Chains A and B, each alone.
Chain A
Amino acid sequence: TQLLEQSPQFLSIQEGENLTVYCNSSSVFSSLQWYRQEPGEGPVLLVTVVTGGEVKKLKRLTFQFGDARKDSSLHITAAQPGDTGLYLCAGVVLQGGSEKLVFGKGTKLTVNP
């Protein structure tokens, strides 16, 4: 069974601070996705990283895929209250011709004004 460990589980910071969320596994994934989920809503895809060592930027968010494709990080610069939400990483697993997502438990981020 492939597991993804996310840390920290909870994070409360002040507006303007920087933060990093980590997603780690002992398994190799073909790719990894990051989602953001707001209360009462479904997850929304932020980014997919595919190549080991890949770095992708989405405005103030920087995503990195580990060289061995087992881990990833999400860095937010100058966090804003609008960044508040549950951040989920999901590893993509190829199983019998199907792609499946293995989710981490998420990091609940609160950005205080």
Chain B
Amino acid sequence: DAMVIQNPRYQVTQFGKPVTLSCSQTLNHNVMYWYQQKSSQAPKLLFHYYDKDFNNEADTPDNFQSRRPNTSFCFLDIRSPGLGDAAMYLCATSREKRTGGTDTQYFGPGTRLTVL
């Protein structure tokens, strides 16, 4: 089945040790998003790619970077994780940025990051 896959589902890292989270999609969608969701909080958009065009949210810390080597894959790199970066990280895709209506975003299952 076409889907959004995130690996790993659970990631434990040490304070300050770089970590990379992976997202892949078989939907052939142009747009890929990364959200951070902390416990009991709303998902917060970090950045998104429209094809190869990277769009960073103004309040996303520099500690968070992203790469999209091809249509199918997108990575979230956290250069120096702090305790406050422990969260669920959600990847989502949509076909287009805008199609005259509202384009559905399809979410992956998330990666839960623990920082020790």
A interface, CB within 8 angstroms of B: 4, 9, 30-31, 33, 35, 40-45, 48, 50, 88, 92, 94, 97-101, 103-106
B interface, CB within 8 angstroms of A: 4, 6, 9, 40-45, 48, 50, 55, 90-92, 94, 97-98, 101-110, 112
With a cutoff of 8 Å between Cβ atoms, the chain B residues found around residue A41 in the complex are 109-110
Q: How distant is the Cα of A84 from the Cα of B101 in the complex, in angstroms? A: 30
With a cutoff of 8 Å between Cβ atoms, the chain A residues found around residue B42 in the complex are 4, 88, 103-106
Whether the Cβ atoms of A100 and B45 lie closer than 8 Å is: yes
Whether the Cβ atoms of A48 and B90 lie closer than 8 Å is: no
Whether the Cβ atoms of B104 and A45 lie closer than 8 Å is: yes
With a cutoff of 8 Å between Cβ atoms, the chain A residues found around residue B94 in the complex are 99
Closest A residue to B105 using CB positions: A101
Whether the Cβ atoms of B102 and A42 lie closer than 8 Å is: no
Q: How distant is the Cα of A103 from the Cα of B41 in the complex, in angstroms? A: 9
